[in-house]
């Protein structure tokens, strides 16, 4: 009885891996032995960096907000504190977009945050 090698499934699996390795350089794109390791590593990086992208964008938004807030006489951390105290719920992505595209709206929000911080200080002073 001839030996069964499961050739169609093996060929399909190898072709699928080589298709994923398209664009890699050298043997990594043409030889299955090297392509499978390269593809496995690429998929690992891909999974990891989908998580890292969220972190990177949040850092970018924070930097933009801070850069827009400082000329208005308030730091990023004070701005966020004031927004929380004022009950203004706005995420950093939208706040960053406002800072870039609509400076007047951002300034109005920053002024509300400053007023909330001043009110908080007054409450603390009255309590003491």
What pLDDT was estimated at residue 4? 87
pTM here? 0.79
Q: How far is CA 7 from CA 15, 39, 97, in A?
A: 12, 22, 55
User: How many angstroms separate the CA atoms of 39 and 22, rounded?
Assistant: 10
62-101 pLDDT per residue, tens: 999 999 999 999 999 999 999 999 999 999 999 999 999 9
What pLDDT was estimated at residue 17? 97
The domains of the chain, with CATH numbers, are 7-52 (no CATH), 56-127 (1.10.1900.20)
For 39, counting Cβ atoms within 10 Å of its Cβ (0-12 exposed, 13-18 middle, 19+ buried), the class is: buried
C-beta neighbour count of 93 within 10 angstroms: 14
């Amino acid at each position: 009885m001839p030996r069964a090698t499961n050739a169609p499934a093996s060929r399909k699996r190898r072709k699928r891996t080589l298709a994923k390795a398209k664009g890699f350089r050298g043997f990594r794109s043409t030889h299955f032995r090297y392509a499978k390791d390269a593809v496995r590593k690429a998929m690992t990086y891909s999974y990891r960096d989908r998580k890292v992208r969220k972190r990177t964008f949040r850092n970018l938004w924070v930097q933009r907000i801070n850069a827009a807030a400082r000329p208005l006489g308030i730091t990023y951390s004070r701005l966020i504190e004031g927004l929380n105290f004022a009950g203004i719920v706005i995420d950093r992505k939208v706040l960053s977009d406002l800072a870039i595209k609509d400076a007047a709206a951002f300034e109005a929000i920053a002024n509300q945050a400053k007023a909330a911080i001043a009110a908080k200080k007054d409450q603390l002073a009255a309590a003491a």
